[in-house]
Structure 1
Amino acid sequence: MSESTSTVTPAATAPRKGGGRRKLSLPVILLIIAAGLALFSLVRIVSGADDLTSVGQVSGALQLAVPIGLAGLGGLWAERAGVVNIGLEGMMILGTWFGAWAGYQWGPWTGVVMGLVGGALGGLLHAVMTVTFNVNHIVSGVAINILALGATQYLSDFTFAEAPGGSSKQSPRIEAIDRITVPGLSDWLADLQAQHWFFVSDLAGVLGGLVTNLSLLTVVALLLVPATWWILWRTGFGLRLRSCGENPVAAESLGVNVYKYKYIAVLVSGALAGLGGAFLAIVSTGIYQEGQTGGRGFIGLAAMIFGNWMPGGLALGAGLFGFTDSLKLRGGAENVHAMLLLLAILLVLAVFWTLYKKKYVAAAVSAVASALLFFWYAMTETLPSQFVDAAPYVTTLLVLALSAQRLRMPKADGMPYKRGQGK
């Protein structure tokens, strides 16, 4: 059977018996978002942290979330085809260097393209090692992270070090990509947010952050999320690619070239991670600096896992991590202190939910934790700077721990595959 006409068996894509999850309808999703925003509004009013949902806070969170989301999107492409990509961090590093190197010489958009190329080179190396030579995926990813770090340090010594305004650890200043603001609407939303009304001002702050001082590359990155969903879940190409991550032997028996789809997926994965790196160098800072990825490739992997290997969930995870990271940049200790109240309220809700599910031990633990957080919030006005700095990483650990039981990774993710092994 030819590849163009092949199909995959229902077993390759259907959820396991008893393990499926009911899909949320759009009205339910909107209701959940509205409830979450109302909770944020309540915390803002009680704590007095008016910057918690301001236009600047949301805009900053979006800028911090984009590179994390792009890395996670890259991980999603690879793992949906059955290849674990721990090397996202290294591919982001390559993207930052190649993006900055081309960006300061030939302009920011050339830097964006070269960032894609740099990340794709890392993806190609990962694909050769894992798909062709069946090297352990974790070992290959760690090797790429180490190799990328060493290679960029070496390249910086004789490129940026000799450039005007550069050094062995940073590049010269890169020309900025144009930013857009919706005239009229942006100012109106900012004025509405400044009123500090319940819910209405918070909604205005969120919407204002999405239409104010927005880089064109941010728009491209946001569009890549629905584009990925459409390609992987609404096209024959995506169905074949996902079948390689669920049951490559069955996919091969139906005429799918498993090697080809794995290679495509890992190349796209590296390119997206490289784009996230280029975003850091060109948009976030306007300069390449050694170590500027700061583990965002690993946090992107965590966002992908939190999102259950789905683009929408990944976007929510990236937004959560970006928002947490932005708290320490605007308002710092005050904003993070307000989050203690938010966590305490969420744990109260968790108590009622676990009691409804008759999980009494979990309910007791949640109740104790909630009481401790309420006490901590009431007895303090600010938090130590070390706690503020650690907030994004603590959030990463908590989210992964709390979401671990509902996850379902692709069945053949990380498993070795050789052509013809099903015969």
Structure 2
Amino acid sequence: MKFWQVIDRKKNRAMETPLTHNISPGREPPDLAQYEKAGGYAGLRKALGMSPAEVQAAVKESNLRGRGGAGFPTAQKWSFVPMGDDAPRPKYLVCNADEMEPGTFKDRMLLEGDPHQLIEGIIISAYAIQADVAYVFLRWAYKLAARRMEGAIAEACRHGYLGKNILGSAYSLEMHLHVSAGRYMCGEETALLNALEGKRANPRAKPPYPQVSGLWGKPTIVNNVETLCNIPHILNQGAEWFKSLSRSDDGGTKLYGVSGRVKNPGIWELPMGTSIREILEEHARGMCDGYQFRGLLPGGASTDFVTAEHLDLAMDFDSMKKADSRLGTGTMIVLDDKTCPVGMLLNLEHFFAQESCGWCTPCWSGLSWIEQILQDMEEGRGRASDLELLESHTRLLGPGHTFCALAPGAAEPLQSGLKYFRDDFERHIHEKRCPWSQT
């Protein structure tokens, strides 16, 4: 291969997979010099030549939606922050890197593989809302990510990308790494803010919303790692380019992951709107020999099951609603024909029950009750009335009945499991055992 072809291939890869083109598994992440050589911090330089309003407008035009699970338009979220000389100070930007959703591991790759990309995204986003301080709220178990983020933040400070008068501009920003205490609840943005303040990680009542009254009562934006990593590329290459990467109305690429009994579990950066079938069959290479596909959770543990009839749906925020599910984090958990769906759900509901903060009764009491019912089914003590009880819990733990989304999220796999795998539940009750326990 000729030298110019190698260069051209690298350039095309950077344009088509902006989030991961610097990441090489098994290798150290690029240091600051290497990141700059690959085009890093060019987006920040452009942003500092624009007004905060112009940066927000560019992100709005790009159709970037939050990659943490909810899919809320990023620029619209930013627009709720008070701006101008009369706005309360200080203002904060918080990166939610508390990736504890079962089956989700996309942010870890970004944190460990290209920390300067995240730092640049944070600085630009903080500039867009005129934040004075930024925090990276990191999952406690991500030890390697913590070391690499600490090193990259120190490098950025030494070279004028953080601190006073960034790159000679009038803008200044402090950045701190905060390692989480280690509860799933900390990933909920208002509980995260309480944890940052040194309080118990309970959700806050809304309103007021964090954009107006967040960390220590000041305007605060909380964005996910993957969301923030998109920002430098939008500023550097433009909103139209970003939209052109997608196969849907949602701009950009998406990190899609697959775990379970597939031949090639992993994570891939693909156009937003790539179909479930393409991800499962082409990138994950289908089911392992001897196993058949039964269903999957498309966006981590707190999403509804989809089945074979949904495989041709696009994995984007709006399309997944057609299957009564959600894109969530875009990281699939596959259920095969030799895994008990009731046992799988018991495992998930046990996690959610022990991670409830206990702030509201439907969550701490209801999830524990669900766990016990499923445990009884698995151990041969299930009763026909248990199915009605489980169904009632999915309604009582639904949206609007709890302070945050933990319990409604926990109800999603259960309600769809009852819908698609009801025969499996009934077999547990009628046979008074788990049918898979003897296989």
TM-score range (shorter-chain normalised) is under 0.3
If the length of structure 1 is used for normalisation, what is the TM-score? Answer: 0.27
Which gives a bigger RCO, structure 1 or 2 (Cα 8 Å, sep 6+)? 1
Q: From the two aligned structures, give the one with the greater helix fraction.
A: 1
